[in-house]
Structure 1
Amino acid sequence: MFAALPVPEEIHPGLIQTQTGLSGARWRPPRNFHITLRFFGGVSHADARDLDELLAEISCAPFEVSLEGMGWFGRREPSAVWARVRESDALRALSAQCERAARRLGLAPDRRPFTPHVTLAYLHGTLLDEAAAWVERHHAYRSTVFWAEGFHLYSSHLGDGPSRYVAEADYVLG
């Protein structure tokens, strides 16, 4: 399970246009575009109910979001390419509140630094130079500004093809 902001459909076409020209890329379908606030992992049904209650207590005003530039994960062997989310205090605060909810539930702290992004592809066998060149080609990418007015608690379901994400609970900001 994970908490995430949805990426509005009007942003999808610009992201889709970047999804080309990278060997070893498994491009993510637009229905999977989101901005992860906190990954929780596998949790029991009881913990999921408790997590829902904790996330429902989060207080945050709606805020503006935009995507600016690209990046990749994996220092020596790239594992994913993504669109960078412009940093904001509101986004960091919302992520921190999701982190506090996870800790109150008893989950271990997230050891990775919060890097707001929209995953565009998972990579397999992609050379570092090729990932860097792809990022450079798309460095000027900018989305229009959109409003984060709510977030979801998603479950992830594996199967043939890309994972399927289901919004299990909705939380309105404001």
Structure 2
Amino acid sequence: MYRLFAALPVPEEFHPGLVETQTGLSGASWRPAKNFHITLRFFGDVSHASARDLDELLAEISCPPFEVSLEGMGWFGRREPTAVWARVRESDALRALSAQCERAARRLGLEPDRRPFTPHVTLAYLHGTPLDETRAWVERHHAYRSGPFWAEGFHLYSSHSGKGPSRYVAEADYVLE
């Protein structure tokens, strides 16, 4: 079994700006810069055979390259915050790419993703962080903006847990054209 997700990588030149925000929040388990990505669709645990089929389905996706930028911060968990993240500026192209990944998942027979697509880069998972503190952290970093970068491809990643943060491995690459 593989634990898989499709995502856009965040270029390394944008890592330092994101890392600078990773401070001043109790209960935060800050993500390493090498894990920064924009999830298009989380597939979950998939058999080896299904992973091969998924690879073929994702390879059929057609989408031109498009511009991506990060602007502002947010959190998941209305009353009990579970994660803080950098917001990805939405675009029709980004939504279309995510929708094509969703269609591939459904063609594979996976359950529809019931959560609305919220493009983001996870900066930390939170453990017992008070809501007021999370809100204050988000407000402190509300003016965060990255310059634009071009999404020219995406990856099918596998996720491996162990001691410390999860390790992500790009198992397949897909070029946007």
Q: Give the structure-2-normalised TM-score.
A: 0.98
Give secondary structure in 2 for the equivalent of 1:42: strand
In the alignment, structure 1 residue 56 sits paired with structure 2 residue 64: no
In the alignment, structure 1 residue 160 sits paired with structure 2 residue 156: no
Ranges in structure 1 where 5+ consecutive residues have no aligned partner: none
Ranges in structure 2 where 5+ consecutive residues have no aligned partner: none
In the alignment, structure 1 residue 91 sits paired with structure 2 residue 88: no
Percent same amino acid among aligned pairs? 89
In the alignment, structure 1 residue 137 sits paired with structure 2 residue 140: yes
**1:41-85 CA distance string (max 9 Å, x none):** 000000000000000000000000000000000011000000000
Q: 1:33 aligns with which of 32, 36, 60?
A: 36
Task: Please report how far the alpha carbon of residue 91 of structure 1 lies from its aligned counterpart in structure 2 after TM superposition.
Answer: 0.1
Task: Please report how far the alpha carbon of residue 92 of structure 1 lies from its aligned counterpart in structure 2 after TM superposition.
Answer: 0.1
| Residue 105 of structure 1: aligned partner | 108
Distance in 2, matches of 1:143 and 1:159, equals: 31
In the alignment, structure 1 residue 10 sits paired with structure 2 residue 13: yes
Give secondary structure in 2 for the equivalent of 1:40: strand
Q: CA RMSD in A?
A: 0.2
In the alignment, structure 1 residue 44 sits paired with structure 2 residue 47: yes
> Which amino acid is the alignment partner of residue 139 of structure 1?
H
| Residue 79 of structure 2: aligned partner | 76
Runs of 4+ in 1 over 3 A off after TM superposition: none
Give secondary structure in 2 for the equivalent of 1:125: coil
> Which amino acid is the alignment partner of residue 73 of structure 1?
F
Task: Please report how far the alpha carbon of residue 142 of structure 1 lies from its aligned counterpart in structure 2 after TM superposition.
Answer: 0.1
Distance in 1, matches of 2:5 and 2:160, equals: 12
In the alignment, structure 1 residue 147 sits paired with structure 2 residue 166: no
- What number of residue pairs does the alignment pair up? 174
Distance in 1, matches of 2:78 and 2:16, equals: 29
Give secondary structure in 2 for the equivalent of 1:151: strand
